[in-house]
Structure 1
Amino acid sequence: MDIDYDAISHALVINAFWNEAPGGGSWHDRIERTRDDETIEVGVLSNETPEEPEELKLGGFLIVVGEDDTPSLHPVMQLTFPRASLQPPSKARCSLHTYLTLPSALFIDKYAFSDALTLQSLNLAALRTVYGETDLEAPDWVIPRFGSAALFELATLSPASPSPAENTAAEDNGSWTVEIPLHLRYLPPTAGGYTDLAVPWPVVFWACTANEGTRMAVNPFDRVNLGYDGLFGDRTMFYHVPPSPSGNGTEGGRSRLVETLQVPVLDLKQAWYVEWGTMVAVVVGTAWVCWKLWRGWVEGRRVEVVSREQERKKQ
């Protein structure tokens, strides 16, 4: 148990560490605020691979008691497969992949996929590659290119896996769900507080090693290595998993293979305080700088007058 009090912010921080739940069972704690002006933040965190050897990095969910209805989460892309489609299409060595093309408004944090337990909980095998705009802090209006692209290897069910009713929560009614956490950049403000974002559907495919002796003929009219095929060897056969569009993925009965999402942004109608706050900050800052310059000028004049008086007395 670690208790710390910050005299500047008047915050009492209590950290408790244990390797088992109290009593050997699961946690059943009820946390409530004792005063309306009290702030209690609860986090369920786990260790993640730090960026520097001397750092300690944690990741998970946070919630403010009495203010948040659900834990703070990032947008998550879900890929759901029927159980039957998880069988490799060939007897050769195959692995299931998905290739994401993300617009500049969305990006992935490659450091979040370095932990084996995190990958297992998301039904992912590994993040194979990511390129493009992957700055974790840049807003959307400073991104110069289209966005980013990423190749994931997906985890699949083994033949010895239990029945759907006995599987984990990732499976539902015989389906297998893969989750890929995404991050939303700061977008330009709009009236109403929401904007539409078009996200291409991911490409899902099996990558299988060609059997020995298989002739891999090259079509002279084809252009190769323009997409994810350039990330695999020359003797790789691709078997694509066809999508099943529904909801926002259809338009007029036709498949668009683009998902339209409504994401929150700054509402211009309710952002008047930002404009006035910025103006006040500029005016106050300018006045402070001018006051400092004036005081410096006055102090300089005073020192100059004193120096002249001393020189006159010496004469």
Structure 2
Amino acid sequence: MKQRITYIVSDPDTFRPELLDVKHASITLKKVQAAKERKVTIGLGELPEQLAKAFEQWHELHIRWASSKPYPSIPPFISRVTPGLHVFFTPHKAKPTNGQLCDLLHSTFGKELKCSSTSEAATKLPILSERFSMSASSQYYSYVPTLANLVNYVQEKVCGEKKRCKEEVGELLEADYLDVDYDAISHAVVLNAFWSTALDGDSWAETISVPGKGQSVEVGVLMHETRPDPEDIGFGGFLTVLGQDKAPKPTRFQTPTRHYPLSSTSTATSDAETSSLTYSTSFAPPTGLHPTLTLTFPTSPIPPNPTCKLHTHLTLPSYLILDKYQFTDSLFLASHNLKSLHSISGATDLEAPDWVVEQWGSAVLFELAVAEFVEGEDEGENEGKEWNATVPLHLRYLPAAESSHTSVPVPWPVVFWACRAEEGTKMSVNPFDRLHLGYEGLFGPKTRFMHVEPQGGQGKLVEWIDVPVLDLRKAKWVEVGTIGAVIVAFLGLVWVLFGGKSAAKKVESKGEGKKKQ
């Protein structure tokens, strides 16, 4: 097992080397305000046999979970996915795996997940760039608000009676995101967790030690620095390898990165207005069966440079659907501040109710119709004015319930500028880069993503909307009325078939008797 723990100090002016107490096999942090990333690499031979066999069924498997709590992005941990559970995978061609992934997800993330078999629940992942031709082939999504089920599973199946293991796994309950990666080439499972702030919300005061004899842990305490190359990201600080080094080593390095923040310290051509750009998501009540998702920006977005285009990537659960035929009309797009529908995949049947849809939902990529920035143009008239982009959606019919409405979650989409990078091939050397986010393969190989921060609505990056459903409490009268109507119709039919004939015979016999007289 290998471990790499990285701290990114939030305010370099407050950090002093005295806050670190480094020994040969341990390091103690004394109230260090920083973001934290923990990367653990585990060989399949170190996992329980049942869990190792579950991973071996896949050519590659990538799990991305993100919290619904808003958190600040700190370089180099900038990339985002919509809140919930994302699974990207490619099965082995020679090994049937139908249903096994769903069983694994039910065991680790909750039995309530809508997943019976991967062939039915998953959707094909559109890949438009040859750079990502080796990306996973299928995608699955479900809104999972917490990692409690996963934590309990790992503590029981993997940790056993190891107290230290249970404590470290328990910290995942406060993580902002968690990545799990496996591929058949490395035969190793890589877990990557991120905390934007300390567990107590203030600073890290903890001791990290080597887990066992002959093992080592890489620890870095770094500070974000400006760098001469606008497409690189720079760091300075201290590195140590517990179990090998006796003292932390000063270090300074820079690396190209695919994901950038919108700030003057991380982009070459961003101004104050661009760097402070944020967005929020809302639905105008009452939503009814045709809700409209609204993206609100505090001011009209200005491209950081001429090559940048503003995009939003939506992850829609199965009960929400987008009518792609609406977005072929340029006037319709313009009325919603949308420029084009770049990609849509997944469940797109407009007529099917939710209970017959096997797939998890659909993924949609839009380009927003922002105004081009003209140097020297007066920006005063748009200052302080909100700018909105809207996406009309449709709700599928949901199963009946003991109420007239039911609430369903809708995760916030991610919003980012897609810009042209000069040296896209060099991005692969970044040790902090994240792949398999569901939307990078929709762009070219020389694309860098500059992410817009979400504001966070009432402390959550998810909206709950009320959906009208059939009320079972009132449906009983419908049932009684329907049965009564059927009985009356049946009796009427019997009377017509039998009672009517006998009456006709009596009339006929009376008529014959009169003729004889």
**TM-score normalised to structure 1 length:** 0.58
Tell me: CA distance 1:203–1:112, structure 2 relative to 1, closer, same or farther (3 Å). Answer: same
Aligned residues: 211
* Offset, 1:143: 0.9
2:451 paired residue number? 240
Distance in 2 (alpha carbons) for counterparts of 1:164 and 1:189? 52
Query: Are positions 1:265 and 2:469 aligned together?
Result: yes
Distance in 2 (alpha carbons) for counterparts of 1:224 and 1:266? 42
2:294 paired residue number? 78
* Offset, 1:96: 0.6
1:90-105 equivalence runs, <5 A? 91=305, 93-105=307-319
2:15 paired residue number? none
Query: Are positions 1:207 and 2:418 aligned together?
Result: yes
Letter in structure 1 aligned against 2:350: L
Q: Equivalent of 1:228, from 417, 436, 439?
A: 439
Deviations 1:169-200 (A, max 9, x none): xxx94111000000011011222211110111
* Offset, 1:283: 4.8
Greater shift, 92-101 or 220-229, is seen at: 220-229
Query: Are positions 1:108 and 2:322 aligned together?
Result: yes
Distance in 1 (alpha carbons) for counterparts of 2:326 and 2:423? 38
Which structure has more relative contact order (CA 8 Å, sep 6+)? It is: 2
1:192 paired residue number? 403
Q: Equivalent of 1:88, from 279, 299, 303?
A: 303
1:179 paired residue number? 390
Q: Equivalent of 1:153, from 356, 360, 367?
A: 367
Greater shift, 99-108 or 221-230, is seen at: 221-230
1:307 paired residue number? none
Letter in structure 2 aligned against 1:108: L
SS at match of 2:371: coil
Distance in 1 (alpha carbons) for counterparts of 2:489 and 2:434? 58
Letter in structure 2 aligned against 1:189: A
Deviations 1:80-113 (A, max 9, x none): 11226x1223x35111100000111111000111
Deviations 1:218-267 (A, max 9, x none): 458867345111111111101111100123xx2xxxxx422122222122
Distance in 1 (alpha carbons) for counterparts of 2:493 and 2:342? 52
Distance in 1 (alpha carbons) for counterparts of 2:399 and 2:469? 7
2:197 paired residue number? none
Distance in 1 (alpha carbons) for counterparts of 2:495 and 2:446? 73
Letter in structure 1 aligned against 2:298: P
Distance in 2 (alpha carbons) for counterparts of 1:207 and 1:99? 12
Tell me: CA distance 1:266–1:113, structure 2 relative to 1, closer, same or farther (3 Å). Answer: same
2:241 paired residue number? none
SS at match of 1:216: helix
Q: Which runs of 5+ in 1 are unaligned?
A: 1-69, 251-255, 299-315
Tell me: CA distance 1:162–1:176, structure 2 relative to 1, closer, same or farther (3 Å). Answer: farther
2:35 paired residue number? none
Letter in structure 2 aligned against 1:267: D
Distance in 1 (alpha carbons) for counterparts of 2:302 and 2:424? 24
Q: CA RMSD in A?
A: 3.2
Distance in 1 (alpha carbons) for counterparts of 2:384 and 2:463? 24
1:52 paired residue number? none
* Offset, 1:149: 1.0
SS at match of 2:426: coil
- Contact 2:400 2:472 survives alignment (8 Å): yes
- Contact 1:92 1:209 survives alignment (8 Å): no
- Contact 2:354 2:397 survives alignment (8 Å): yes
Letter in structure 1 aligned against 2:360: F
1:279 paired residue number? 483
- Contact 2:408 2:467 survives alignment (8 Å): yes
Letter in structure 1 aligned against 2:324: K
SS at match of 1:271: helix
Tell me: CA distance 1:173–1:210, structure 2 relative to 1, closer, same or farther (3 Å). Answer: same
Tell me: CA distance 1:164–1:221, structure 2 relative to 1, closer, same or farther (3 Å). Answer: closer
SS at match of 2:453: coil
Distance in 1 (alpha carbons) for counterparts of 2:346 and 2:491? 43
Q: Which runs of 5+ in 2 are unaligned?
A: 1-285, 502-517
Query: Are positions 1:216 and 2:431 aligned together?
Result: no
Q: Equivalent of 1:128, from 332, 339, 342?
A: 342
1:25-36 equivalence runs, <5 A? none
